[in-house]
């Protein structure tokens, strides 16, 4: 410091932006895995966002006949969510057989459609199961924190889902447990 009112030159930090016109900071693209010592980006999502992604993944796996992915997304036993949530459960394989090996599937030409052509992806509604009005009460095996996800089905989707997912007509529903390993509990 100088005495008697003298001024020092301003401190300049190497690499620090000096104006608002400087380029933005480098943000690496999100990846599934990172390398030690390399920059990575993190994305924070809430359970509702995760449920919306899972709905799209389940539908994509059904239309692409991707059994390994669909099997990984479903709980070991799967219930029915439409027309109402019931305590009745079926083995995962029963649903896989219905959705992927249904004899009527050949007439549906599912390989040429996208998820967006089948459901209204902008209107996927996610509600904690504890907030859903279930006249008979919450069935055994479900938790109030599970997510009840509803989707509006487009006309093309109605033709496909009425064959592949029982009860899915104008709308469809899933119950997703987002804690631990996220799984679809009911469709």
Q: Is the Cβ–Cβ distance between 52 and 42 less than 8 Å?
A: no
Q: Is residue 154 over pLDDT 60?
A: yes
C-alpha atoms less than 13 angstroms from C-alpha of 178 in its C-beta half-sphere: 22
Write out the H or E segment, with its range, that includes residue 100.
Answer: helix 92-100
Q: Which of 32-36, 101-105, 109-113 is predicted least confidently?
A: 32-36
Q: Which residues contact 61 (CB under 8 A, 6 or more apart)?
A: 67, 69, 70, 73
- At 65-87, the pLDDT tens digits run 999 999 999 999 999 998 888 88
Q: What confidence score (pLDDT) does residue 79 get?
A: 93
- At 37-60, the pLDDT tens digits run 776 666 555 688 889 999 999 999
pTM above 0.75, yes or no: no
The secondary structure of residue 149, as a DSSP letter, is: E
Q: Which of 33-42, 102-111, 145-154, 162-171 has the highest mean pLDDT?
A: 145-154
Q: Is the Cβ–Cβ distance between 29 and 161 less than 8 Å?
A: no
Q: How far apart are the first and last CA of the chain?
A: 73
What is the percent of the chain where pLDDT is above 90? 45
Q: Is the Cβ–Cβ distance between 165 and 81 less than 8 Å?
A: no
Q: Is residue 177 over pLDDT 60?
A: yes
């Amino acid at each position: 410091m100088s005495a008697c009112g003298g001024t020092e030159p301003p401190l300049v930090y190497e690499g620090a932006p000096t104006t608002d016109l400087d380029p933005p900071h480098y943000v690496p693209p999100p990846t599934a895995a990172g390398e030690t010592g390399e920059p990575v980006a993190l994305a924070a999502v809430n359970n509702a966002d995760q449920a919306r992604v899972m709905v799209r993944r389940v539908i994509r796996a059904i239309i692409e006949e991707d059994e390994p992915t669909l099997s990984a997304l479903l709980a070991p036993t799967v219930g029915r969510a439409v027309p109402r949530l019931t305590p009745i459960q079926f083995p995962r394989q029963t649903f896989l057989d219905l959705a992927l090996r249904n004899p009527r599937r050949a007439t549906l030409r599912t390989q040429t459609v996208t998820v967006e052509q089948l459901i209204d992806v902008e209107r996927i509604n996610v509600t904690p199961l504890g907030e859903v009005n279930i006249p008979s009460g919450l069935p055994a095996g479900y938790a109030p924190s599970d997510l009840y996800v509803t989707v509006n089905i487009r006309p093309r989707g109605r033709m496909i889902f009425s064959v592949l997912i029982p009860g899915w007509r104008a709308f469809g529903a899933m119950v997703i447990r987002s804690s631990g390993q996220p799984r679809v509990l009911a469709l």
